[in-house]
Structure 1
Amino acid sequence: MCDYNNDFLTFLLERFKIERQKFDRSGVYAYTQRLLAYNSNKIEGSTLTEEQTASLFDHGTLPRSEDYYRAKDVEEMNGHFLMFNRMLDTLNEPLTQRLIKQFHYELKSGVFEDRANGYAIGDYKKRPNMIGMYQTIRPDEVADEMNQLLHWYKNQAEDLSVLAEFHARYESIHPFQDGNGRTGRLILFRECLIQKMIPVIIEDANRHEYLDALKAYQDGNGISRLTELFRKEQNFYFEKCRYFIA
C-alpha cells in the first residue's frame, strides 16, 4: 500500500506510462483522464455526463440518447484527452509560455465553433474578455504578465499555497480567448506531479467553492480558501486512486 506522497507519485507516473502505451482503459491512467476531463469541462458548462465521457474516451463513441449532443462539448472533451497526453509527454520540460500555448492548442484545435468565431488557437487572446464582472489583462499585456508570473513562480518554494497563488493569478490574467480554466487546471495537475505532491482535480460538485475562492483572491482576500480546497481535492483523488494500488 502506498502511504506517502513519493510512493504514490512514483506509482502514478509508472502506471500512466505503461497503461497509456498499452491502450489500457481499465486502470488509473484512464480513470484520471476521464475524471479530470469530465470535471474540468463540466465546470465550464459541458453537458456530457460521466458515463458519456467514459464512452468517448474508452471507445470513441457516444451512447444513443434521446437528447442531442453538442458538437463543441464532444470536441472539447476529445481535446482535453489530447491535452492530458501532451502534458504527460512534456513533464521533463520547464513550464514556459510556449508549453502553455501547446496545451491550449491540443484542447482547442478541433473545436469548430472557436475557429468560426476567429478565436486564437494555441495563442493568446486577441480580444479583451472578462470573468463575470471582473476585467482581465488586456491582450497586448498578456505576454508580459505571463512572463512575470512564470518568473515569480520559478523563484518560489515548492508548496501547495504557491500553486494556489499561481493558479489564481493565471486565471486573473485569463490569457486565452477561451479555455483558460481547463488549461489552468491541467497546469495545476502537472505541477503537482512535478513537485511530487498528490495531484489536485477540482470536482464539479465543488464548483461554487472553487469560484468563490478565486473571487476571494480577486477581491484581495488571499489564497487561503483556494489552498484549503486544493487540500480537500488532493484527499479526494488519493482516496479514489487507492483502489488501483496493489
Structure 2
Amino acid sequence: ELAQPMRPQDIKGGLEELCKAWVDEYPGLRNPDDKLRAISKFHARLLLIHPFLDGNGRVARAVLMQQCLDLFQRAEMSLLNKGADYYSALKNADQGNIDPLIDLIRPIVFD
C-alpha cells in the first residue's frame, strides 16, 4: 500500500516532526551507508509531506543537495536520474523499500 500525502492541516506538524527527527539523527551519522539511508528516507518523506504539485521536486532536491554537501562534502546533482527511475524509486520508498532511492542518490556523492 502506498503512503498517502498528508492532509493540509497536518503539514506543519509533519514538517516539524521530520526536521526534528533529522536534527536528532544527523549528529550520529558516521557510516556512509547510514548517511545515504537517512538522506533517502528524509527525501522520500519530505515529498509526501510537501504538498505542492508544481515545485515540490525542486524544493526536495535543493534540500537533498544541501544534505549531501553537509554529510559528504559533495553533491553532483546532474547525476541524479530524475526520470522514470526516480519516480519508481519514490514509489518503492512509499511502499517501504528505500534501497532503489539510495541507489539513485549514491552517484551524487561518490565518484
TM-score normalised according to structure 2 size: 0.78
What residue in structure 2 maps to residue 193 of structure 1?
Answer: 69
Q: How many percent of aligned residue pairs carry the same amino acid? A: 30
SS of 2:83 mapped into structure 1 = helix
After superposition, the Cα gap between the structure-2 partners of 1:206 and 1:171, relative to the gap in structure 1 and judged at 3 Å, is closer
After superposition, the Cα gap between the structure-2 partners of 1:206 and 1:145, relative to the gap in structure 1 and judged at 3 Å, is closer
- Following the alignment from structure 1 to structure 2, what is the Cα–Cα distance between the partners of residues 197 and 168? 21
Instruction: Describe how 1:69-84 pairs up with structure 2 within 5 A.
Output: none
Alpha-carbon deviation of 1:227?
0.8
Runs of 4+ residues over 3 Å off in structure 1: 202-206
- Following the alignment from structure 1 to structure 2, what is the Cα–Cα distance between the partners of residues 227 and 204? 11
Alpha-carbon deviation of 1:136?
1.3
Match for residue 211 of structure 1 among 79, 87, 109:
87
- Following the alignment from structure 1 to structure 2, what is the Cα–Cα distance between the partners of residues 150 and 230? 20
Is this contact kept in 2: 1:200–1:230, CA < 8 A?
A: no
User: How many residues matched?
Assistant: 103
What residue in structure 2 maps to residue 145 of structure 1?
Answer: 14
- Following the alignment from structure 1 to structure 2, what is the Cα–Cα distance between the partners of residues 211 and 148? 24
Instruction: Describe how 1:11-90 pairs up with structure 2 within 5 A.
Output: none
SS of 2:74 mapped into structure 1 = coil
After superposition, the Cα gap between the structure-2 partners of 1:204 and 1:234, relative to the gap in structure 1 and judged at 3 Å, is closer
What residue in structure 1 maps to residue 32 of structure 2?
Answer: none
Structure 1 unmatched runs, 5+: 1-132, 239-246
Q: Which has the larger radius of gyration?
A: 1
Give the superposed CA RMSD.
2.3
Which structure has more RCO (C-alpha within 8 Å, separation ≥ 6)?
A: 2
- Following the alignment from structure 1 to structure 2, what is the Cα–Cα distance between the partners of residues 234 and 170? 20
TM-score normalised according to structure 1 size: 0.38
Alpha-carbon deviation of 1:172?
1.3
- Following the alignment from structure 1 to structure 2, what is the Cα–Cα distance between the partners of residues 229 and 140? 32
- Following the alignment from structure 1 to structure 2, what is the Cα–Cα distance between the partners of residues 219 and 209? 15
Amino acid at match of 1:230: I
- Following the alignment from structure 1 to structure 2, what is the Cα–Cα distance between the partners of residues 182 and 168? 13
What residue in structure 2 maps to residue 224 of structure 1?
Answer: 99
Amino acid at match of 2:105: F
- Following the alignment from structure 2 to structure 1, what is the Cα–Cα distance between the partners of residues 58 and 74? 19
Alpha-carbon deviation of 1:137?
0.9
